[in-house]
């Protein structure tokens, strides 16, 4: 067990980092099982929707895997689909997240505008 240094916090970067490390350790993704949680307190801005998509998918599979009635063939199939989903997310995740965010705004009847970062100004003497 070890910690990995993530250079970026994008969904693409994190999923790539995890899949690469599993490959290096020769651990098939299908054999992996984990506990996930919604770390919403530490999320902000554009990453919130991306994290929500990734963690929601993993948490759903994790809960299904913990069932006492889970069959091995079904578990393997779930893990393969999760792996494929993460791999696909690397390619289309951000644009899909933007679409999801827009739909959520429409459902909540909220204006879909991303806040612009305020430029800092310095006083000149």
Q: Model's pTM, two decimal places?
A: 0.42
Q: How many CA atoms lie within 13 A of 44 on its CB side?
A: 3
- Tell me, what's the pLDDT at 111? 77
Question: What's the whole-number average pLDDT of the chain?
Answer: 77
User: How many other β-carbons are positioned within 10 Å of the β-carbon of residue 51?
Assistant: 21
- Tell me, what's the pLDDT at 48? 66
Tell me the pLDDT tens digit for each residue of 20-59. Answer: 888 888 888 777 766 554 444 444 455 566 777 788 888 8
Give the closest residue to 55 by CA, choosing from 99, 106, 14.
14
Query: What contacts 110, CB < 8 A, 6 or more positions away?
Result: none
CB 14 within 8 A of CB 63: no
- Tell me, what's the pLDDT at 117? 64
CA distance 17 to 11: 10
- 2 burial level (CB within 10 Å; 0-12, 13-18, 19+): exposed
- DSSP labels for 18-42? HHHHHHHTT--GGG--------GGG
CA distance 109 to 34: 36
CA distance 10 to 41: 17
């Amino acid at each position: 067990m070890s910690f990995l240094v993530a250079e970026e916090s994008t969904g693409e970067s994190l999923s790539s980092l995890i899949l690469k490390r599993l490959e290096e350790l020769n651990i098939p993704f299908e054999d992996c099982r984990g506990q996930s949680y919604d770390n919403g307190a530490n999320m902000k801005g554009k990453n919130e929707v991306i994290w929500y998509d990734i963690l929601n998918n993993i948490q759903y599979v994790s809960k299904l895997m913990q069932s006492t009635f889970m069959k091995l063939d079904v578990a393997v199939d779930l893990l393969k689909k999760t792996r494929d989903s993460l791999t696909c997310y690397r390619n289309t995740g951000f644009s899909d997240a933007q679409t999801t965010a827009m739909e959520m705004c429409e459902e909540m009847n909220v204006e879909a505008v991303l806040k612009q970062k305020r430029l800092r100004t310095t006083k000149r003497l």
